[in-house]
Amino acid sequence: MARKTKAALIGCGNISGAHGDGYKAIVDYVDIAYCVDLIPERAEQRKAQYGNAGTVCLTDYREMLRDPSVDVVSVCLPNYLHAPVTIDCLNAGKHVLCEKPAAMNYAEALSMKEAADRNGKILNIGVVNRFNRGVEAVREVILSGGLGEVYQIYCSFRAFRSIPALGGWFTTKAQSGGGALIDWGVHFLDLINYCMDNPRPRTVSAVCHSKLAADMRDYQYRSMHAGPPKYDGVYDVEEYVTGLIRTDGPALTFNGAWAQNIDESAMFIEFMGTKGGIKLDYGSHYTLYTTRNGEFVAERSKFDIPNHFLAEIRAFVDSAARGEKIRSNIDNVLVTAQTMDEIYRSAAEGREVTVE
C-alpha cells in the first residue's frame, strides 16, 4: 500500500475549515499530521474535525518543519504572515498551498516564487475560482472564440455594511496590505486573468475610499465575519475601490465595496465581446448573450457546480506528488499581485500610473 501524503494546517481560523474539508475528502491518501495555531483550542478543534489520533497540535509551526515526513502545508494565516511562513516551509522542503492574497504586495509574492523555484517545490495560491466549474466554462467560451474579441470587462464586488473584523488585522493596513481590494477584489481580478490568459496591465487609474467606519463606534453593520469589532484597534484601509485598468487585451473597470450605503449585493463579472457577451454571477452560473439565425439569444448555463475548495485541495496534493505546476501556481498569480500594487499606487498618488 502506498504511503499516505502527510499534510499540515498552519492557522486554524475560518478559512482553514475549507482546507480541512478538502483534505478530509481525500482521506484515503492524505492524513492531517499537524494542526498549528497560536490559540491551542482552535488547533484541537481542527484536529477533532479533520485529524486522527496521531495528529499533533502545536502553537509554533517551526516544530512541524523539523518533521521530514510532512509533504504538504496549507498556510491559512493573516496576510502579513503569508510570505515569511510560506518561505520557511519551502526552505524546509515542503510543498505549500498559501491562501489568497499571495502576499501583502508584489515584492513579497516574487520572493515566495523565488523560494519555491530555489527549493524545487510547488507553491500554489488559494485562487479557488480557477477550480469553479462556472469559471472554467466561461474561460472555455472565451478561448474558443465564442465571444469574438473581448474588448471590455466590468466587475462588481459590492456588499452592504459588511466590513470584516473591524479594528482587527483585516482593517489594519500593516497586517492586511489593504481592504476590500486585497480581500475580495483579488478573487475577481484573478478570475478575469484566468479567463483571459493573463493580459498584461499597461496603465491603472484608481480611487480608494475609507469613509464609513472612520468613526468605528458610530459604524452600524449588517454583518461582520471574523468579528466582533475591536474599537481600540485600527481602521486605515479602503472599504470602497473603483478603477480602470488598460491591458494589452481588454480594458477592465471595477467597483468594489465591503460596505456601501446601498442595501444591495452586486457580485458579478461581465465580459463584452464583438460576437457576444457573458455575465457571470460570482461563484455560480452565467448567461451568454449573442445572436443566432437573426435572433437575439440569451442562454443560461446549466450544469452542476461541485465544491471548488475540494477540487483545489485535490489538485494541490496531486500537483505536489507530481512536482507539476498547475493553474493556481504562484507563476500564474503574480500578475494579480502586481495589478493590485498599481491600483493602490494610483489611488495613493491620485493619478493614472504606468505599469513597468
CB atoms within 10 A of CB 203: 15
Question: How far, in Å, CA of 30 to CA of 22, rounded?
Answer: 10
Beta bridge partners of residue 153, listed in sequence order: 252, 271
Output the pLDDT for position 54: 97
Decide if pLDDT at 315 tops 60. yes
* pTM, rounded to two decimals: 0.97
Confidence of residue 2 (pLDDT cuts 50, 70, 90): confident
Nearest Cα to Cα of residue 290 among 276, 270, 309: 276
Mean pLDDT on 308-316: 98
The CATH code belonging to domain 5-128+309-329 is 3.40.50.720
Distances (CA, A) of 226 to 12, 150, 164, 171, 218: 13, 37, 6, 11, 19
Could you give the 3-state DSSP secondary structure of residue 267? strand
Q: Which CATH architecture has domain 130-305+337-354?
A: 2-Layer Sandwich (3.30)
Using the 8-state DSSP alphabet, how is residue 103 labeled? S
Which residue spans within 105-239 are E strands per DSSP? 123-125, 150-158, 201-209
To the nearest whole number, what is the mean pLDDT of the chain?
A: 97
Q: Percent of the chain having pLDDT more than 90?
A: 98
Going by their DSSP bridges, the two strands 201-209 and 240-247 should be labelled as antiparallel
Residue 57 belongs to what H/E stretch?
Answer: strand 56-58
Domain extent listing, the chain:
5-128+309-329, 130-305+337-354
Interval 109-157: pLDDT, tens: 999 999 999 999 999 999 999 999 999 999 999 999 999 999 999 999 9
Alpha-carbon torsion, ordered 16, 17, 18, 24, to 10 deg: 110
Is the Cα dihedral 303, 308, 314, 318 positive or negative? Answer: positive
Q: Percent of the chain having pLDDT more than 70?
A: 100
